[in-house]
Structure 1
Amino acid sequence: MANISMTETALQCHPLSEKGFVNRIALQVDRAEGGRLHIKYVLHGLIDDIHFPKAAQPERTDGLWKDTCFELFCGRGDHGSYVEFNFAPSGQWAAYAFTGYREGMTELPCAPPHINCTAGEGIFEMTVTMDLPESLRTVDVMAGFSAVIADRHGRTAYWALAHSPGKADFHHKDCFALQLEARSAA
């Protein structure tokens, strides 16, 4: 039987964010052996008011955070380095490695994640299946899950597991609020 760790929680809206068009964002994370993650973001709100990027070729694309996208930041708790993944409803994605807080950014070599989206009355779901980078596959990691949600009226809401003081900053270690324990074959 596979050794899997499942966590269910909710993201919090940043206190300085625009409010009113997103009611809640739930998160489910499954970490399987080998560093594979299954992530499910469930957004509840005024779905017709949210600006979702149009479906596109599922390829690596920069600047996804400028529109509606979901994110994962993670790294070892004892290191300053970390990685960032962006997942857009368009199917596009991005992955970066940092040597320290917003420093030394490089494109992270990785396999493309699998992104699937569904929408209904008052609900939008994005599921992502991805592999952590080799350096994080067999160790515990601290993770920050977040979302940038843009609406059709130019408002933006910033959601995360936890927020640092001041403006929204998903790179800040205060946002790395969930420990994902390493799993091995059992």
Structure 2
Amino acid sequence: MADSFPACPLALPAHPLTHDAFAATAGAAWTADGGLRFSFRLSGDLRGLRLPDPAPAVRRDGLWRHTCCEAFVAARGAPAYREFNFSPAGAWAAYAFSAYRQAADELPASAPEIRVALADEPDCGGDGGDDALAGEGRAALRLVASVAADCLPPAHDGLDIGLSMVVEAADGTLSYRALRHCAERPDFHMRDGFALFLPLPPFP
């Protein structure tokens, strides 16, 4: 199904305390069935990027310890929010919070659809296998993740969204990218970092 709104790419600058040699963008859009589609793009000399080994598309904690794409979603005006992690290796994670870093009951989320591709491919329809994850010397890597409507918080007046990436360099160092950095140290959970507002679409 087509998206109600395009996922316009927004820059993900690196936190001032962390640096890498890449450029990153991300976007979010409603899907026609009320879910969300997140799109992430990392460009540069990808020989300097370390990607996790291909893995089953299962729920797994600790994805942020390696290259990982993240989305934080909250209803406007509500303290509760949800966190989604997408690994380019295929694994994923989802968490619910009642307030800033206050874990709520486990979120019974269904598995998101994750697609990974190199930028020189015509679309993002790869199966996440070795070819899609190699990326050496290529211009860009793209990850698209679709989250079902029943995994999202009630939208009411729209959603505040934070988009971020953890980038692991070939030497193992991590850099942290986000729409907005609000603290001296990287912290994707800070509500002021949920810098993208997505209004409700005109669903029939």
Same fold (TM over 0.5): yes
Structure 2 counterpart of 1:35, one-letter code: G
Larger strand percent: 1
2:35–2:152 CA contact under 8 A, matched in 1: no
The corresponding residue for 1:51 is 50
The corresponding residue for 2:162 is 144
Superposed CA RMSD in Å reads 1.9
The corresponding residue for 1:168 is 186
The alignment's TM-score, normalised by the length of structure 2, stands at: 0.83
The corresponding residue for 1:18 is 19
Measured against aligned partners, the alpha-carbon deviations of 1:53-91 in whole angstroms (never above 9, x if no partner) come to 111110100010111000000101211110000000110
Shift of 1:138: 5.4
C-alpha spacing 1:57/1:12, structure 2 compared with 1 (3 Å): same
Residues of 2 paired with 1:3 and 1:161: CA distance?
22
Shift of 1:94: 0.2
Residues of 2 paired with 1:3 and 1:104: CA distance?
31
The corresponding residue for 2:199 is 181
C-alpha spacing 1:57/1:138, structure 2 compared with 1 (3 Å): farther
C-alpha spacing 1:150/1:36, structure 2 compared with 1 (3 Å): same
1:32–1:183 CA contact under 8 A, matched in 2: no
Shift of 1:51: 1.1
Q: Which secondary structure does the structure 2 equivalent of 1:174 belong to?
A: helix
Mapping of residues 82-101 of structure 1, within 5 Å: 82-101=81-100
Residues of 2 paired with 1:3 and 1:62: CA distance?
29
The corresponding residue for 2:123 is none
1:4 aligns with 2:4: yes
Q: Alignment identity in percent?
A: 32
Structure 2 counterpart of 1:10, one-letter code: A
Shift of 1:40: 1.5
Number of matched pairs: 184
Shift of 1:93: 0.2
Structure 1 counterpart of 2:111, one-letter code: P
Kindly report structure 1 stretches of 4+ aligned residues shifted beyond 6 Å.
none
Structure 2: runs of 5 or more not aligned: 119-134
The corresponding residue for 1:122 is 139
Structure 1: runs of 5 or more not aligned: none
1:77–1:142 CA contact under 8 A, matched in 2: yes
The alignment's TM-score, normalised by the length of structure 1, stands at: 0.90
